Amino acid sequence: MSELSGPLAAIAAEHRGLVTRQIARARHISPSVVAAALRTQALHRLRPGIFVDQRVWAATQAHDRFALLVRGVLLGHPHWLASHHAALALHGLPLFGVNTSLVDVAAAVTTSKRRAGLHVHVATPAQRALIKDPESMAVSVVDACLLTAADHGFVSGVVAMDAAVKRRETTVDALSTGLSSSAIRYGAEQARASIEAIDPKCESPGETRTRIILTAAGLDVRSQVSLSDAEGFIGRVDFLVADRVVVEFDGAIKYDGLDGKRALMEEKRREERLRDAGFRVVRVTWADLTRAEVLVARIRGYLAAA
């Protein structure tokens, strides 16, 4: 892999690592120069005509790479707004169960258009007002959440809405009002169901997904519950099911190094106190969420034993 240099490096520096064939052509950069940068892996291709400095791509977390693609699409179309889950990506909200090979945009057009990897939607009057603002790159958080739920389903909507409400980027009332006044024709019911299922106490997409699975199974679930024993405060657990089973979602937790080992010991001590206080503890990973019926059966078994 070689380092990007010359006029292509200048373009990338101006646009947060992005380079487009359109900009290169406008600056009279030969297509062979772009081809050479791709061949030596100095550039990474996001989609035809849109590239990113390979060093930027390598340094970008996997969950943030879709936002690079969205910004690349908008770079060549300054009068478009990211919409649906593309807007969620630019707002920094979590994506779950969406098609990251597709970029949705809103534009001042009269008919919706589809092409490979792109869906251009007819902008609403409120979105057209945003298009006129050169600082705006995406539809509102409310629109992004509602449209994602309508297009990609209940779970995708709840994951985004939980995070947006928790971060105070919107409210349940604003989402409800937005749905009532929106022009959503398809998927309005699943968007409404997503709003009704919001629980901003959940602190990650994994916690939201866990809660959805448990509540769908008819279990009595409370989020972020503080528990104590005779010694005092034990801690706040992700979920308490029927006041008897503690469910903790474990993301990418690492226990390397001295601090990690100390954290592991503290976690083990906390879990021992929970068990001594009469609670059963279930730890859940992303892999467990792909086997929902096994997870639910395990919790039901603990409840029956209790």
Q: What is the pLDDT of residues 142-180, one digit of tens each?
A: 999 999 999 999 999 999 999 999 999 999 999 999 998
Provide the mean pLDDT of the chain.
92
Residue 144's CB is within 10 A of a number of other CB atoms, namely 28
Higher per-residue pLDDT: 185 or 281: 281
The set of residues, in sequence order, having a beta carbon less than 8 Å from that of 48 and lying 6+ positions away, is none
Q: Is the dihedral of CA 7, 11, 16, 19 positive or negative?
A: negative
Q: With a cut of 70, say whether residue 259 has pLDDT above it.
A: no
Give the closest residue to 208 by CA, choosing from 150, 158, 154. 158
d(CA 114, CA 91): 23
If residue 267 lies in a helix (H) or strand (E), which one and from where to where? helix 257-276
Report the pLDDT averaged over residues 186-213. Answer: 96
CATH of 205-305, one of 3.50.50.60, 1.10.3470.10, 3.40.960.10, 2.20.25.650: 3.40.960.10
Give the closest residue to 39 by CA, choosing from 61, 21, 54, 29. 54
Q: With a cut of 70, say whether residue 118 has pLDDT above it.
A: yes
- What are the angstrom distances between the C-alpha of 27 and each of 4, 19, 22, 24? 16, 12, 9, 5
Q: Where are the alpha helices (DSSP H) in 19-53?
A: 21-26, 31-39
Mean pLDDT lowest among 35-44, 161-170, 183-192, 211-220: 183-192
Higher per-residue pLDDT: 185 or 212: 212
**pLDDT score recorded for residue 254:** 54
- The residues spanned by each domain of the chain are 6-59, 63-196, 205-305
Q: With a cut of 60, say whether residue 133 has pLDDT above it.
A: yes
Q: With a cut of 80, say whether residue 257 has pLDDT above it.
A: no
Confidence of residue 305 (pLDDT cuts 50, 70, 90): confident
Which residue is associated with the tokens 């078994």? Answer: 301
**pLDDT score recorded for residue 261:** 63
Query: For residue 109, with 0-12 CB atoms within 10 Å meaning exposed, 13-18 middle and 19 or more buried, which class applies?
Result: middle
d(CA 199, CA 208): 8
Mean pLDDT lowest among 191-200, 204-213, 255-264: 255-264
pTM of the model: 0.90
Give the closest residue to 48 by CA, choosing from 116, 1, 113. 116
The pLDDT tens digits for 9-18 are: 999 999 999 9
Report the pLDDT averaged over residues 266-271. Answer: 85
Report the pLDDT averaged over residues 111-131. Answer: 93
CA angle 17, 23, 24 (to 5 degrees): 90
Report the pLDDT averaged over residues 238-246. Answer: 96
Report the pLDDT averaged over residues 87-110. Answer: 96
Tokens standing for residue 108:
């001042």
**pLDDT score recorded for residue 302:** 92
